[in-house]
Structure 1
Amino acid sequence: MKSCLVVDDSKVIRMVARRILEELGFEVVEAEDGMEALEKCFADMPDAVLLDWNMPIKSGIDFLRDLRAAPGGDEPVVVFCTTENDLEHIQEAITAGANEYIMKPFDSEIIQAKFEQVGLI
């Protein structure tokens, strides 16, 4: 079973994403900020990361840069899931190593389509 780390400071967003991803056959782990997410990745690298941008302690973009610089950090597929929808943010995310970018609010069809595009499903 493939694993996905859902990183968002909103418990509601994590809960909704978990439900969708479990329906798609993923084992889901949650983190509420980028620092906790890094610790979870170093303990057990997931196949995918669904990542928010704006979080306390360590932002999504800072997490992504640290992840990609770490041993094995190039392996997970990272999909940003955020309200930041301007071209500058999208380009910054892709340059930092994001594989895909989706906007909040999202639904199961959007997540399924993006995960199919990157070969996770």
Structure 2
Amino acid sequence: MLNENDFNDTLAPIKLSDEIIEILRESYFDNRKDIRNTLQEFYPHLDHYQNLEWRLDTQIANRSLGSSINPIYLLKLITKCGSDKPIEHLLQTDPNNLKHLCNELESALNEIRTYENRLIMRNIK
């Protein structure tokens, strides 16, 4: 559902001739409802985050190792797909893997905040 300016911004990097852009523009605006309906049919219906519960478990000591500490995070991730009932995912990880996961998610968030990705996201909506 692009407006005229967004459509022009989308095609600007491709550097097509004015004649081809005009043909594409007419075709798009004549058929954009059909294009939108077709794209929605192929859109993947993914689970969405609903809740996260976590607990830190650690073994303080045992007879053979003495004072070794092994922390483990237990996570219950609750997701939901549409109006279906929530699905619980039980996960277990150590602090190093959890830190790496957090770093990767922060990196993905920083990537999506770039100008190019914001332009793409604006055109997708």
With structure 2 as the length reference, what TM-score do the two structures score? 0.21
Structure showing greater Rg: 2
Higher helix share: 2
Higher strand share: 2
Larger relative contact order (CA 8 Å, sep ≥ 6): 1
